[in-house]
Chains A and B, each alone.
Chain A
Amino acid sequence: MRDIVVSKLRKTFKSKGKEVVAVDNLSFYVTRGEIFGLLGANGAGKSTTINMLAGLVLQDSGTIKLLGKDPKKDWEFVKNRMNVSTAYFPLTDVLTIRQNLRVYAKLYNVKNAEKKIDELLEQFELTKLADKKVVTLSSGERTRTALCKGLINDPQLLFLDECTVGLDPDIAEKTRRIIKDYQKKTGCTILFTSHYMHEVEELCDRIAFMDEGKLLTIATAAQLKKQVKKHQVELTLEDGSDELKELLQEEGLTVLGGRDNMLVFEIDAKSDDVNTIVQRLVKLGLSLKDIHIRKPTLDDIFIHFARRKK
């Protein structure tokens, strides 16, 4: 069962008389119970995509199916079963956290609303702040309030747009755990965007990379990492980094940087270059102090995709 099916979606905006393509011919699907990451640099089209899925922005062309329905036709069915949470749009700031959550609980016709609100406040450690106005909260507290609102109706479909921005590492970790637990408990489908790659790697089953509104690739984190063919090696000698530099150049390897007796260089992921280098260093009588091979992370993938065109 596919809970999100996006087909040939296109959206343009006019900016200073010019047409700007925000989303271009975007197609993907998300299966039920999947946490799907949407990644890309600023302006890649992630938020516009979520806004179109949430019914806030009308697409120029293309189709969207949510929970197996056309949201334009079965709008009531879809919207009652989905929710959106973003760090960028606070709830009504003159209302307290509890008042805001009461309003949304009523909007979604939540049964036992007060109990649900208390549970969410406790989960996100907001109980003590429940009667504070949103305008007086820190950005992290507002973000957590937005997450409470996102879960108020136990959604089957959840859009989380940079929902952990501004959270301290401890709360961010707890938030990820709550999202994971909620997904496990309910089997809901989550579309997730974030600039924190470790978060995406931890949470998402599959990841889509977008650039300038276009979809570049969809894969699991492991598959994506394989797309980066180079590994970085950090090699430190007791002495003699000049010889090492020469040696690396002879081997045709790219030196990325370094300091004192340490050099960082790139090797082909499948090659035997490290072995060769170490053997040659021994022959030259240079003693190795430390060696560290850094495998690509999602950050590298992000940078790889972001810089690919440049």
Chain B
Amino acid sequence: MKLHRIKALLVKYFYISINRVDRLFDVVYWPILDVLLWGFASAFIEQVSDFNLLSMALGGVILWIFVWRSSQDIAVFVLEDFWSRNLYHLFSSPVKLSEHIVSIIIWGLVRAIVSFIFLSLISILLYQFNILTISPLFIAAAVALLLLFGWTMGIFITSFILRFGQRIQVLAWSVVWIIQPFSCIFYPLSALPPWAAAIAKVLPTTHVFEGLRSILFGTGQGNLLYAFGITIVLLVGVSFLLAQSFKAAKRKGMLARGGD
């Protein structure tokens, strides 16, 4: 990997972001809507019961942003190169696939941090909820784990896009939301029916949000070590899948056709 090529791609994403309002917009728009929705709903539930949903819901929404941004950004930036038929120029240049993915990961991380800062400030201003008052060590571990899992998902989706082209682009937006109900962000693992709990237990995200509940209420059953372990295994697996898909894309001539 060469640093100057990663820098060049970061410059490209910067230009895309400043030239396209929608790419700036999605860093704050949807996350803010989520915070408003869950913040108001939690405030109402607290009025009619004694249950402190606010910290769990807002903590969940703010942390989930790392999975969302990191997974979706990888897939959408790759798709953008498909849409603009830019893979031809990109991969006839010295750019390696790994440099391409690393640059997207870095840019996605920047966008996730911007979203995180926005949401944290709004939570403090509107609901007097400061996520950083929760154990900083736990938050750091949770963010790292959720980012790793998000990248795993993003690489997984990208592998499929490279293999099957733009016809499966809907995955870029949908996969992360398929995982969300099983990640126990807004409810405990114990609230799920057995079949859903079985799926949830496998997901590393569940263990992060169970860990959050454990800190907030002392009731969670998260295992962060397991979560890190399974995420690393998945990340290695999808990286291998991505390399194979890239080869398949070259065999099919997809890079030279613009992914059609």
A interface, CB within 8 angstroms of B: 13-14, 47-48, 51, 54-58, 75-76, 79-80, 83-84, 86, 89-96, 99, 102-104, 106-109, 133, 149
Contacts and interface: CB of A to CB of B under 8 A. Distances in A.
A216 to B, nearest CB: 23
A90 B94 contact: no
Contacts of B247: 58
B89 A91 contact: yes
A38 to B, nearest CB: 15
B201 interface: no
Contacts of B20: 94
Contacts of A47: 256
Contacts of A56: 88, 91-92, 250, 253, 255-256
Interface of B: 2, 4-5, 7-9, 11-12, 15-16, 19-20, 81, 84-86, 88-89, 91-95, 247, 250-253, 255-256, 258
B93 A89 contact: no
Q: Which 7 A-B pairs have the closest CB atoms?
A: A106-B8, A79-B94, A89-B88, A51-B256, A54-B92, A56-B256, A107-B8
A14 B254 CA distance: 12
Contacts of B19: 94-96, 99, 133
Chain B residues touching A, majority SS: helix
B94 A108 contact: yes
A103 B14 CA distance: 11
B15 A95 contact: yes
B250 A92 contact: no
Contacts of B255: 56-57
A92 B12 contact: yes
B245 to A, nearest CB: 13
A150 to B, nearest CB: 9
A94 B92 CA distance: 20
A48 B95 contact: no
